[in-house]
Structures are given as C-alpha cells and as structure tokens.
Amino acid sequence: MTRDEEHDQFDRKIEAMGVRIKDANTVKVRDDVFDEVTLMALYKLVQKKQISVIGGPISTGKEANVFYGEHDGRGIVIKIYRIQTANFKAMTEYMAGDRRFSSVRGTRKGLIFAWTKKEFSNLARAHDVGIPVPEPLVFDRNILLMEFLGEDEVPYPQLRNAEVEDYGAVYQQILGYVKRLYQEAHLIHADLSEYNILYHEKPYLIDMGQAVTLDHPRAPVFLIRDIKNLNRYFSRYCDVTDEEEVLRAIVGTGRREP
Ligand SMILES: Nc1ncnc2c1ncn2[C@@H]1O[C@H](COP(=O)(O)OP(=O)(O)OP(=O)(O)O)[C@@H](O)[C@H]1O
Ligand SMILES: [Mg+2]
C-alpha cells in the first residue's frame, strides 16, 4: 500500500467511528506528522471517544503540530509531538535534571512519549493550583489533548499580537502566575515569552513541555531567563521591576540572607 492509500484507509476507519475530519488542509500537513505511531495513537484516542472532530492545523512549531478538535461539543487542542524532527538533544537536557523523568533514557520515541507525559503533568500541576492554563485532558504516546483556549475555533491571540489595554496590570498578573507556579506548583516554565502566553481578558500560560521542577540543576538559570524575557517584552510598553527584585519576590523569603 502507498502512503496515500494508507491515509485514505485511515480516514475511512476514523470516519467509520463517527469522527469528522473537518479540514482538507489537515491532509496536506499530515505527511510530516502522521507516521505509523502517531496514526495509532490518534486512532486509540478516537476509539476511546476522546476526540469527536479532528479539525484544521493551528500551528506548526519546532517540536509539535497543534490541531483544533472537538470532544463532546467542546473545543480541544490536539498537540502532536513529532517523533522524527523534534530536538532530541535539547529535550534530553530538560528531562535529565527533572527527578520525575530522570530515568527516561534511550530511544527517540521513548523520549518524545515521556515529554508528552511531562507536558500533561506540568499543565495538570499548574491547573490544580488555579493558574490559567489549558486544562490537560488525556495523552497517548506523542499526542496530548487539552482544553482549547479560544472562541469559534479561533485561538486567543498570543500576547505579542493581542490588544492589551493596561500592560502594567498584565505584567503584574503574569508575575503573579510565575510566583504561584513556583511557590504552589513547584515548577518553572522555562520557555516563557510573548509567544507562549495567550491573551483574552487575562493572560494564559501555554506550552509547558519544558517546564521543570525546582530541583532541576538549571532551575535558577531557567527562572532568571523567564523573568528577563518578560522584562524585555514588557519594557517596551510599561515600567518593569528590576529582575533581581522580581526574582526575590518569586522565590520569597524562604532563603535567609546572612
Ligand atoms: N490550548 C490551546 N488553545 C488554543 N491555542 C493553542 C493552545 N495550545 C497551543 N495553541 C496555539 O498553538 C501555538 C503553538 O502551541 P505551543 O506553543 O504549545 O507549541 P509549540 O510552540 O509548537 O511547541 P514548541 O515550543 O515545542 O515548538 C500557540 O502559540 C497557540 O497559538
Ligand atoms: Mg510555543
């Protein structure tokens, strides 16, 4: 069977289960993303009734492709980590220092599956303490399903493209999230920027695959980098607080000065 024939057969199988494949564009990007493993994982999720519509692509990032979907009439995001083209080396570094995942070794596939699970756990921890992030729903192999943040199939804009009235207030709100992420969820986002924050009435943090626990050896480096990124962006629009002071506010007074 050729790949096209395989895909046709896959589409028929999926559609036989009552799942609509909505957007012809999905088919076009499929070839890079949908290898055997991914098709199987997707098939499993459909079979388990976690997906009722597979919609069009929202984004093609460095490591993942993001699609719109539906489950029980609710919008969901289908985030598929690419097995072949993900940045294996960078991912390994984030994994190795994180005690939850430090035993993950070996194959590219194994690493990507663990990474998918890591993003699920990170989102769950943040969501559990009430930080605005997409609610994670379920994962299978390299596919993560989460709540869709948007309206009428249109995602909320990234902060860099959003219309914000009061930048000072949004800056403070985000610093508040970073502090709660640190103090209550015991995580550092580690890729915080105007790309990984969506905005609609309030900011939402997204893209948490790389987020690490506080005991990661590079946790302090990641935290200061996140703060610098926020300050770099917000300094164009409002006054920002000195990064050392922000750091102290986030880490708190747990550390006594001599
Ligand atoms: N839950 C969501 N709801 C709405 N839109 C989303 C959601 N998750 C992601 N998106 C959209 O897809 C884009 C890419 O998502 P995300 O940042 O998670 O992956 P990525 O940047 O491709 O990953 P990587 O950093 O590995 O390349 C986001 O900028 C956003 O526009
Ligand atoms: Mg991103």
Distance from the alpha carbon of residue 61 to the mean position of ligand 2, in angstroms: 7
Q: Atom of ligand 1 at shortest distance to CA of 206?
A: 18
For the domain made up of 156-251, the CATH class stated in words is mainly alpha
Domain ranges, ordered by start, for the chain = 15-151, 156-251
Q: What is the mean pLDDT of residues 226-240?
A: 98
The pLDDT score that the predictor gives to residue 258 is: 44
Q: Which residues crowd ion ligand 2, with CB under 5 Å?
A: 196, 207
| CA of 158, nearest ligand number | 1
Q: Is the CB of 75 under 6 A from ligand 1?
A: no
15-151 and 156-251 agree in CATH topology? no
Q: What is the mean pLDDT of residues 199-213?
A: 97
Question: DSSP code of 161?
Answer: G
Note whether 164 and 199 are within 8 A (CB): yes
pTM above 0.85, yes or no: yes
- Give pLDDT tens digits for 148-203: 999 999 999 999 999 999 999 999 999 999 999 999 999 999 999 999 999 999 99
- What values do phi and psi take at 228, rounded to 5? -60, -40
- Give pLDDT tens digits for 12-35: 777 777 777 776 555 545 556 677
Note whether 95 and 115 are within 8 A (CB): yes
Query: What is the Cα–Cα distance from 135 to 137, expressed in whole angstroms?
Result: 6
Alpha helices in 17-107 (DSSP H): 24-33, 36-47, 88-96
Residue nearest to atom 1 of ligand 1 (CA): 148
Alpha helices in the chain (DSSP H): 3-16, 24-33, 36-47, 88-96, 108-128, 167-183, 219-234, 243-251
Q: Is the CB of 77 under 6 A from ligand 1?
A: yes
Cβ neighbours of 87 (radius 10 Å): 11
Query: What is the Cα–Cα distance from 96 to 98, expressed in whole angstroms?
Result: 6
User: 15-151 is classed in which CATH architecture?
Assistant: 2-Layer Sandwich (3.30)
Question: What is the share, in percent, of the chain residues with pLDDT greater than 70?
Answer: 93
| CA of 207, nearest ligand number | 1
Q: What is the mean pLDDT of residues 50-73?
A: 92
Note whether 75 and 150 are within 8 A (CB): yes
Distance from the alpha carbon of residue 25 to the mean position of ligand 1, in angstroms: 18
Asked about 242 being catalytic, the answer comes back as no
